[in-house]
Amino acid sequence: MANDHDTVAYDVEDGIAWLRFNRPDKRNAMSPRLNRAMMVALDELEFRNDVGVLVLTGEGSAWSAGMDLKEYFRETEANGLRGIRQAQRESYGWWRRLRWYQKPTIAMVNGWCFGGGYGPLFACDLAFCADEATFGLSEINWGILPGGGATKVAVELLSFRRAMYHALLGEPIDGKTAAEWGLVNESVPLVQLKDRVTDVASKLNERNPVTIKAIKDAVRRVGDMTYDDAEDYLLRAQEAANSFDNDGRKEGIRQFIDEKSYKPGLGAYDRSRRS
């Protein structure tokens, strides 16, 4: 099934929602219109039973060339502070929604990824890119500070020295370097990218969805906590997930301890079978 909001498009196939920035002629720059369409698309997909994983990718040669310098910056500034704040709410809003999405999310970075693009990049739980992709905090090149979370993303994902160099120099890096630096999980040749992402998404789809949501939130939350706070948070999150899907956990234990049909250290239990 396909849906098209003009600036955004998606298809759902085999449990995977392929959500695409769809302004290839503008290198998928994020305009206010695109930002609103993304929020609508995320709403439509989040609780669909046939969606287990969401992949965010781009049409054409770009993943996203960042914020639209004309429609997001120049035209909203013409409407004063009210216009600026509204545009910021709309973009930051769907990135935040994506950070805490119900389903696991994967950024499939097929090409250009600049500036504001780092917001949705970080919002996705995992990220895979093409060796041919190009990343950059390009803001310095046109004279602004990397806002909208972009500086925070660099500091979260890169070492201090790399984040500082990346933000201050505005030099682009290729996909392999992005993987080496930790901006993405992995970089592969563009021709292999969709297969690799499909493989990872299919594996996620085999895992317990209640536990997946608990884990992805926990990984994002505990970074800012003391050890004791994290220990307490994780204990409660684990119990909440258990009570939400107690049968799944018991079945996982049963298949290992009683049935001896799998080893949890080496793979996941078979969710299609319940005792």
The binding site for ligand COA (CB under 6 A) comprises: 26-27, 29, 61, 65-70, 112, 114-116, 138-139
**CA distances for 45 relative to 87, 198, 226, 231, angstroms:** 23, 18, 35, 33
CB of 218 to ligand COA, least distance (A): 31
Is the separation of the CB atoms in 65 and 29 below 8 Å? Answer: yes
Could you tell me the smallest distance in angstroms from the CB atom of residue 162 to ligand COA?
19
In 3D space, the residue among 159, 116, 155, 160 whose CA is nearest the CA of residue 135 turns out to be 116
Q: Which strands form 134-136's sheet, in the order they lie side by side?
A: 62-64, 112-114, 134-136, 173-174
Q: What is the DSSP letter of 30?
A: B
**Distance (Å, whole) CA 147 – CA 115:** 8
User: SS3 for 49?
Assistant: coil
Q: Which is nearer to ligand COA, 109 or 241 (CB)?
A: 109
User: Rounded to the nearest whole angstrom, what is the least distance from the CB of residue 28 to ligand COA in the complex?
Assistant: 8
Choose between 63 and 269: whose C-beta lies nearer to ligand COA.
63
Min dist. Cβ of residue 138 to ligand COA (A):
3
Give the number of other CB atoms < 10 A from CB of residue 189: 11
Measured distance CA(120)–CA(149) in Å, rounded: 10
Nearer Cβ to ligand COA (45/107):
107
Q: How far apart are CB 139 and ligand COA at their closest, in Å?
A: 6
Nearer to ligand COA, 18 or 118 (CB): 118
Residue 16: closest CA among 101, 122, 103, 124 = 103
Query: Between residues 12 and 30, which has the closer beta carbon with respect to ligand COA?
Result: 30
In angstroms, give the least distance from the CB of 177 to ligand COA: 16
Nearer to ligand COA, 115 or 248 (CB): 115
Closer by beta carbon to ligand COA, 18 or else 112:
112
Question: Based on CB atoms, which residue is closest to ligand COA, 108 or 133?
Answer: 133
**Do 135 and 173 touch, CB atoms closer than 8 A?**
yes
Least Å from the CB of residue 19 to ligand COA: 20
Smallest distance from the beta carbon of 94 to ligand COA, in angstroms? Answer: 16
Q: What is the DSSP letter of 133?
A: -
- 60: alpha, beta or left? (left if phi > 0; alpha if psi -120 to 50): left
> Coil, strand, or helix at residue 74?
helix
